[in-house]
Structure 1
Amino acid sequence: MSPAKPELPKQIVPYPGCPPIRVATPLSVANRFSSLGSTVGQIRPSYQSTLVASYDPFAVDIPTGSSAPTVVHKKSSPYLPKSNSHLFVIEPIYDINTNPVEIARHYFPPGFHYMPSNPYKSLKYYRDILLETKSVEIKPIKDRDNPSTILYHSLYIHQIVSQEAFSSRPYELKLLQSQLQYNYADYIDAWYTIFLHQSEDFSHSWFINFDNKFKSPFPYWFLHWWEKHGPVEEILPASVLQLIHHYTQKAKFSAVDLFFPKQLLFIARYKVPWILKWSYRVTKDARIFARQFSVKWWDKFEVDRIAKYVYNDLPVAQVPLPVSPSASVRSSLSVEGKSKAELREIATQLLRQASQMDDDEDNGSPSSSSCQPISVKPKTWFEDSQDPYDAYDIYIYIYIYIRREDVGPIYLNLIGTRPK
């Protein structure tokens, strides 16, 4: 005896289809699906009222006192277009100048902003897939003054299940608590469909971030998801771009990591959030009905909070500073109170050290330094004198030029001579 087929969700009943509408007339269609949730007041259930303000397909049972905090977005940073999804070609039955929402209301089943492959594959179905696989955490953020109104949802990514972790065969079925089945293709679809919830005025948005414990490797298909839903570089502040550049230069990447943008790897590692929303768009010339995704920066994010982690993980290389002579060295090189013999000995030692440094460079010394002693001669030398310095007050000037690649040229005025 074959197993009984799972029952369809109670909020969905067979959909008999919509009658054709006249061109250039208001689009109207009866709601032939039962309501997905209670409506506010006495509003008659419709496509919009069923989908939005009164119904949250992502709602889960949250204990009293642990609900998500009420937050109101301050729209200071602008939304920038991200990607387009072509949904269908607008047939002549529709007036091209009709409001896109009206076209969608007639084209898609009530309660949907997409064409489900099966009537039971609702937003709740895809939500359950992601929640039961512990892939995401979704919370509604409600209006402080009107708790029945959902301003946006937050979505935190906990893990992304790979095909290997799911099953060796992507077509193999798993069972949800609702007794509905899904395979790995449904799991991937859930990552796209989950964002198709919308409010009546199309103001709904998603606050997206990676969970603090996220360490899951990315399957290759996630790159397409990122290109469709991830942030664009133009919304990121200069300080974040600077951190991404530092991360790109200093971090070590595996062969798998190199398949993905460094921006994705950075945002996942350091938990940088962004905001996503979408709306309908009509290309009149080509009669294309599309979904336009847009992204923006979250202005309350504290960049300094992650900067310290970035530089702790990937410290900046310290450039050694030139070493200045210590007090004892400066004292030993002082000519005050020294005899002629002592000064000559100092000069001899300095010349010997300079010659040794020159030899080190010839031998490939890692310091890459060279020394060239330069003595300043008087105009006339007394070569017949027993002591060539007899005619001079011993005040020797020896200039040693040191070239170091890390600090540049250094000139040391150590000791010299001058005529009496």
Structure 2
Amino acid sequence: MNKDKGKAKATGEPYKVPSYKNVVGKTPEQLRKEALKATPKENKLRDDAYAIAVSSNMTNEFVYPYLPISTIWIAPIELKYAHLAANEAAKFYLQEFADPFLYPKDYNFYYAILDSTGSVEFDYVNRTGGEWAYSKAFFKKVITPQQWNGDLYRFRELPKYRKEQNKFWFNYFDYIKAWDGAFCYENRQRKHSWFFQFRDFDQSSPLPQWFLMWFNNWGFHPITLPDKIRTIYDDFIKTNASLKTPGLMFAILYQVPWIMKWDVIISKMPLRKFGEIVHNIPYLGRRILIKWWDKFDFFAENSVFSQKGLINLEPLPPPPSPKKDITEILRELLASSSKSDLKAQLKEILQESDSDTEDTDMASLKSDLMQDSQDSYDV
């Protein structure tokens, strides 16, 4: 293990990412030999952790497993690497476990964006050797395109996040990428996990569409809820029938945490042309897995649910206007008008009434004359 790398992690300073040119300059055969040097412990796949079942231990407490909810497809891989285990093949395409489309920036860059904008509050727990065992991310706000104030390509200066850095800049599209790139960290044992939670989240502006896509990939899903809380969730949906993203709003309003981890998989992606499959390409993907945090007491005395109960976001119907009788209307009219004004108003009303009566009588007379003229031609 690189001692300098471990030292930098232990002191809380991000280490320098190896040069991209050094990686690209190596031949595929050299990269493959380096990948095969990995220890059996590093290469072991923990499939038992991904079982889709809930088992019970000796204390009759539920053990909540990681459930795969989505896959983020990264890049197609060459056939000569397709026979390797996914974590071995990933070494040829991922540097520091980040996506190739994020280069030459690393997850420290994207972490700094979310941290400096006040969007996410981070906390890390170190393991022996300086690597992160697990991390915490508390979501505070999401900057919308309207809040960026102007051109989305307009750059802002990023506060110093590396020792050797002088100045760095980011625009709104870097900010969007940060919500993926900041969570690409993985330790060498491939056991790193994230604690996610919306805490004091700013809901003053509607969430942008790209964030809804992000939550669909990385976010909480009701499939992980215990039975008692799932009942509350179902009631929440019924009460707020117009919500298009009930899972997201449930997580925000009740500050529901979830545990997330990811691994890499290889799957064949069918290429279709005119509805027919013309080829199957092996594709490298990042599989997102989440689980319920069993230490979270949804019904605790200080919990949101205990304080607010079932939250109703539906707009309340307008209250019916009280009906007034003629006596009350006349009293209000007398109280708000002088005698002279009241006489003038009554005179005007009576004149309109007489005019309406005359018009009605005239219309009735014309109708009778017309009827008589028609009767005279009847045989």
Whether TM exceeds 0.5 here: the answer is yes
The CA deviation at 1:151 is 1.7
CA radius of gyration, larger in: 1
Q: Does 1:185 align with 2:177?
A: no
Going by fraction, where is helix more abundant, 1 or 2? 2
User: How is 1:354-369 mapped onto 2 (pairs within 5 angstroms)?
Assistant: none
Q: 2:133 matched to which residue of 1?
A: 151
Q: Does 1:302 align with 2:297?
A: yes
Q: 1:364 matched to which residue of 2?
A: none
Question: Structure 2: how far apart are the matches of 1:18 and 1:105?
Answer: 15
Structure 1: runs of 5+ lacking an equivalent: 1-8, 30-47, 49-73, 315-420
User: Structure 1's 278 and 216: CA in aligned 2 closer, same or farther, altered over 3 A?
Assistant: farther
User: Structure 1's 186 and 149: CA in aligned 2 closer, same or farther, altered over 3 A?
Assistant: closer
Question: Structure 1: how far apart are the matches of 2:62 and 2:230?
Answer: 22
Which is further off, 147-156 or 76-85?
A: 147-156
**Offset from partner CA, 1:58-103 (integer Å, 9 cap, x none):** xxxxxxxxxxxxxxxx992011111112222221342x22122222
Q: 2:223 matched to which residue of 1?
A: 234
Three-state SS of the structure 2 residue aligned to 1:223 is: helix
Three-state SS of the structure 1 residue aligned to 2:263 is: strand
- Given that 1:153 and 1:207 are in contact with CA atoms closer than 8 Å, whether structure 2 keeps it comes out as yes
- Given that 2:221 and 2:247 are in contact with CA atoms closer than 8 Å, whether structure 1 keeps it comes out as no
Question: Structure 1: how far apart are the matches of 2:113 and 2:253?
Answer: 25
Q: Percent identity?
A: 26
Q: Aligned letter for 1:28?
A: E
Q: 1:225 matched to which residue of 2?
A: 214
Three-state SS of the structure 2 residue aligned to 1:195 is: coil
The CA deviation at 1:137 is 0.7
Q: Does 1:266 align with 2:264?
A: no
- Given that 1:159 and 1:216 are in contact with CA atoms closer than 8 Å, whether structure 2 keeps it comes out as no
Q: 1:409 matched to which residue of 2?
A: none
User: Structure 1's 270 and 287: CA in aligned 2 closer, same or farther, altered over 3 A?
Assistant: same
User: How is 1:195-210 mapped onto 2 (pairs within 5 angstroms)?
Assistant: 195-210=183-198
Match of 1:28 among 28, 34, 44: 34
**Offset from partner CA, 1:185-219 (integer Å, 9 cap, x none):** 11000001111100112111110001135435322
- Given that 1:78 and 1:296 are in contact with CA atoms closer than 8 Å, whether structure 2 keeps it comes out as yes
- Given that 1:281 and 1:291 are in contact with CA atoms closer than 8 Å, whether structure 2 keeps it comes out as yes
User: Structure 1's 87 and 93: CA in aligned 2 closer, same or farther, altered over 3 A?
Assistant: same
The CA deviation at 1:124 is 1.1
The CA deviation at 1:239 is 2.0
Three-state SS of the structure 2 residue aligned to 1:234 is: helix
TM-score (norm 1): 0.55
Match of 1:311 among 293, 309, 312: 309
**Offset from partner CA, 1:218-275 (integer Å, 9 cap, x none):** 222111011101122211112222222333333597xxxx4x4112112101100001
Q: 2:64 matched to which residue of 1?
A: 77
The CA deviation at 1:172 is 1.1
Q: Which has the higher contact order (CA 8 A, sep 6+)?
A: 2
Question: Structure 2: how far apart are the matches of 1:225 and 1:292?
Answer: 14
Q: 2:117 matched to which residue of 1?
A: 133
**Offset from partner CA, 1:379-408 (integer Å, 9 cap, x none):** xxxxxxxxxxxxxxxxxxxxxxxxxxxxxx
Match of 2:149 among 145, 167, 184: 167
Three-state SS of the structure 1 residue aligned to 2:197 is: strand
Match of 1:123 among 107, 111, 128: 107
Q: Does 1:246 align with 2:242?
A: no
Q: 1:5 matched to which residue of 2?
A: none
Question: Structure 2: how far apart are the matches of 1:312 and 1:190?
Answer: 34
Question: Structure 2: how far apart are the matches of 1:278 and 1:269?
Answer: 26
User: Structure 1's 206 and 214: CA in aligned 2 closer, same or farther, altered over 3 A?
Assistant: same
Q: Does 1:92 align with 2:83?
A: no
Q: Aligned letter for 2:65?
A: P
Three-state SS of the structure 1 residue aligned to 2:238 is: helix
Q: 1:105 matched to which residue of 2?
A: 91
Q: Aligned letter for 1:160?
A: V
User: Structure 1's 149 and 112: CA in aligned 2 closer, same or farther, altered over 3 A?
Assistant: closer
Question: Structure 2: how far apart are the matches of 1:238 and 1:167?
Answer: 44
Question: Structure 1: how far apart are the matches of 2:237 and 2:16?
Answer: 51
Question: Structure 2: how far apart are the matches of 1:188 and 1:104?
Answer: 24
Three-state SS of the structure 2 residue aligned to 1:189 is: helix
Question: Structure 1: how far apart are the matches of 2:308 and 2:29?
Answer: 60
The CA deviation at 1:174 is 1.0
Q: How many residues align?
A: 254
- Given that 2:116 and 2:158 are in contact with CA atoms closer than 8 Å, whether structure 1 keeps it comes out as yes
Question: Structure 1: how far apart are the matches of 2:173 and 2:250?
Answer: 27
TM-score (norm 2): 0.60
The CA deviation at 1:13 is 3.9
- Given that 1:84 and 1:291 are in contact with CA atoms closer than 8 Å, whether structure 2 keeps it comes out as yes
